[in-house]
Amino acid sequence: MIVGKQKPIEEILEKTASFGSILVVGCGGCVTVCHAGGEKEVGILAEQLELRAMALHRPLTVIPGMAERQCDTEFIEQLRDDMDRVEAVLTIGCGAGAQTLASVFPQKPVIPGLNTRFIGAQVEHMNWAERCIGCGDCVIGDFGGLCPVARCSKHLLNGPCGGSNNGHCEMDPELDCIWDLIIRKLEASGQLDRLLEVTPARNWQTSRAGGVRRQKHEDSAL
Amino acid sequence: MKSGSRLERTFAEGKFAVTAEIFPPRTPSVRLLHKRAEQVRDYLTAANLTDNQSATVRIASMAASRIVLDAGVEPVMQITCRDRNRMAIQADVIGAAALGIKNILCVTGDHQKFGDHPAARNVYDLDSMNLIQMLKTMRDDGRFHNGDAIRNRSASPVVPPEIFIGAAANPFGSPRHFRPYRLAKKIAAGADFVQTQPVYDLVVFREWLQKAGDLGLIEKVHIMAGITPVKSVDALCYMRDHVPGMHIPEATIRRMTGAADPEREGFEMALEMICAVKDLCGVRGIHLMAIGWEKVVPLLIEAANIVPEPVAVHRGDRPDAEIAGKD
Ligand code: SF4
Ligand code: SF4
């Protein structure tokens, strides 16, 4: 899922300071799951905005709102009535959600209240880690189901680099060296010989390097 | 001969090779590089010119390589995968060959997090293995990475870059048992010679060499053992704690801590290590990385009695097609 983190409140307050009425919109998808942009967080953020406005003796109307999925115009349309009542919208959906808002409501300033961070998995309670960078041509089948593209700090296809340190990445002693994990996994399954062949350089055209990516379902009538 | 470089000829003649790193300065100073080249000219087979070493901006390796070549020192141009993609690197390889640079060392490169521009975006389009492979394809097949022939027009002759391809190896990195296989992969990719991380732990180094021998690798590649002399215990501890991939045994630290004259002790330790590794089966040379202590390089080489026999340095002007105007 997409993992995001709310921006520092000071930054949000600064970017919203010039508006007298704001719709705060969360998303019921990934960012609800990672406790960064769901209904609860919308409530807290709305309250923070109101409290600050009160402290500064500024009039401010804050309307809390939710979209089941902010990256879907169908759900965004449901916000139209609330949107008509405010000067600006503050979203704590991911970057895709924020931009869907921006395109459905071209007249409204959209302020992002969340930093979209990565595609990740929950590795322990309330703790997420990056697992995929959406390279567009999944190769993990060659690496024991583990991804060196996303999880090696240098995207090495023929790791580990010289800095791998007792299972940890040279970047950070708290971070697993994915190449250490790959080697151990393939060893355990008796497939280490796969790593004795040089993996050739990748064709990055399917990744972001190939430009902005789109996808149309073949049977779009569905 | 793949490149005809002095380094390649030294190995071909069965002689012992000695290289050292020259760290390009941060300022556009030819004088400084000439000075460094002069210090080591009579003591080295070739000198490595690092590529933004420790992820810190310096004179480009290609420029520094040509500057020391003009001062009579054969360069080993280093290329990291951190700062350039396959297009930029191939352009550099062709450019380097045009400038008479004949040795290229391929490394992954330290992450920019450890350097002076942590806010930069890195590249890592290729990894060091892919880089070695690409250079071999350029040299042996006369083709670019995309398969196109290295020539200007379809009827003109193919002019491959003549380069001797180097790789780095860390016998001390983990997982340790995989390290000899990684060396095997680098050789399969096309490495002609290998320079190792600094050796402080002879036991581990020997095990790695032994395994390389068992895998039949030492006949296929020229291994140069890395040596880094240090003049203080602080420098040792700094490397242990902050330089990725560095392995320094406790005994080394203890010996340095107890030394009355650490500089003398550091010299002796480096000298002992050179003498210990130089006769090991599979070691074909020494690679000195005297960070911050460059002037010790000639002294160590002399003391270890490994001054390379003089070989005429070939200025790199190419006698080939483009000069004759054939393409
Ligand atoms: S190989 Fe690509 S698609 Fe597969 S997990 Fe890694 S980054 Fe994601
Ligand atoms: S230590 Fe491991 S994960 Fe980190 S950059 Fe090196 S190979 Fe990649």
Ligand lying closest to the C-alpha of residue A161: 2
Ligand 1 pocket mutation, candidates A118, A130, A138, A155, criterion most atoms within 8 A of CB: A138
Radius of gyration of chain A (CA): 22
CA of B99 to the centre of ligand 2 (A): 34
Q: Which CATH number fits domain A2-118: 3.40.30.10, 3.40.50.2300, 3.40.50.300, 1.10.1740.10?
A: 3.40.50.2300
Q: How many domains does chain B have?
A: 1
Average pLDDT over residues B71-75: 97
- Structural domain contains residue B324: no
Q: Is A35 on the interface with B (CB under 8 A)?
A: no
Query: Given A155, A171, A201, which is nearest B86 (Cβ)?
Result: A201
Task: Quickly tell me which residue has 């880690």 as its tokens.
Answer: A129
Angle between helices B296-303 and B262-278 (to 10 degrees): 50
- The DSSP annotation for B267-322 comes to HHHHHHHHHHHHTSTTEEEEEE--TT-TTHHHHHHHHTT-PPPP-PPPP----SHH
> CA dist B194 to B106, B182, B283, Å?
10, 12, 10
Query: Given A155, A163, A183, which is nearest B178 (Cβ)?
Result: A183
Give the per-residue pLDDT at A222. 58
Domain locations along chain A: 2-118, 135-210
Where does ligand 2 bind, in terms of residues with CB under 6 Å? A 152-154, 156, 159-161, 163-164, 169-171, 177-179
Average pLDDT over residues B77-94: 98
CATH number at residue B289: 3.20.20.220
Task: Quickly tell me which residue has 């930029």 as its tokens.
Answer: B88
Taking CB atoms and an 8 Å cut-off, how many pairs form between chains A and B?
93
Cα-based torsion angle of the residue sequence B6, B10, B12, B13 in order, rounded to the nearest 10 degrees: 130
pLDDT at B245 over 90: no
Give the per-residue pLDDT at B311. 63
Q: Is the dihedral of CA B84, B85, B89, B92 positive or negative?
A: negative
User: Is the entire prediction scored with pTM above 0.90?
Assistant: yes
What is the interface pTM, i.e. ipTM, of the complex? Answer: 0.93
Q: What is the DSSP letter of B192?
A: S
Reading chain A (222 residues) residue by residue, the pLDDT tens digits are: 999 999 999 999 999 999 999 999 999 999 999 999 999 999 999 999 999 999 999 999 999 999 999 999 999 999 999 999 999 999 999 999 999 999 999 999 999 999 999 999 999 999 999 999 999 999 999 999 999 999 999 999 999 999 999 999 999 999 999 999 999 999 999 999 999 999 999 999 999 999 999 999 887 665
Closest residue by Cα to atom 7, ligand 2, is: A160
Write the pLDDT tens digit of every residue in B129-168: 999 999 999 999 999 999 999 999 999 999 999 999 999 9
Q: Which of residues 95-154 of A touch B (CB under 8 A)?
A: 153-154
- Give A28's contacts (C-beta < 8 A, 6+ positions apart): A38, A39, A66, A67, A68, A69
Ligand 2 pocket mutation, candidates A133, A146, A147, A170, criterion most atoms within 8 A of CB: A170
Ligand lying closest to the C-alpha of residue A177: 2
CA–CA dist A69, B226 (Å, integer): 57
Give the per-residue pLDDT at B292. 86
CA–CA dist A216, B89 (Å, integer): 36
Average pLDDT over residues B183-205: 98
Q: Is A204 on the interface with B (CB under 8 A)?
A: yes
- Structural domain contains residue B243: no
Range of the domain at B287: 6-229+278-303
CA–CA dist B324, B327 (Å, integer): 8
Give the per-residue pLDDT at B323. 39
Ligand lying closest to the C-alpha of residue A140: 1
Write the pLDDT tens digit of every residue in A50-63: 999 999 999 999 99
Q: Is A173 on the interface with B (CB under 8 A)?
A: no
CA–CA dist B161, A41 (Å, integer): 60
Cα A123 to its chain centre, rounded Å, is 16
- Structural domain contains residue B319: no
Residue of B nearest to A163 (CA): B245
Give the per-residue pLDDT at B324. 39
- Structural domain contains residue B41: yes
- Structural domain contains residue B258: no
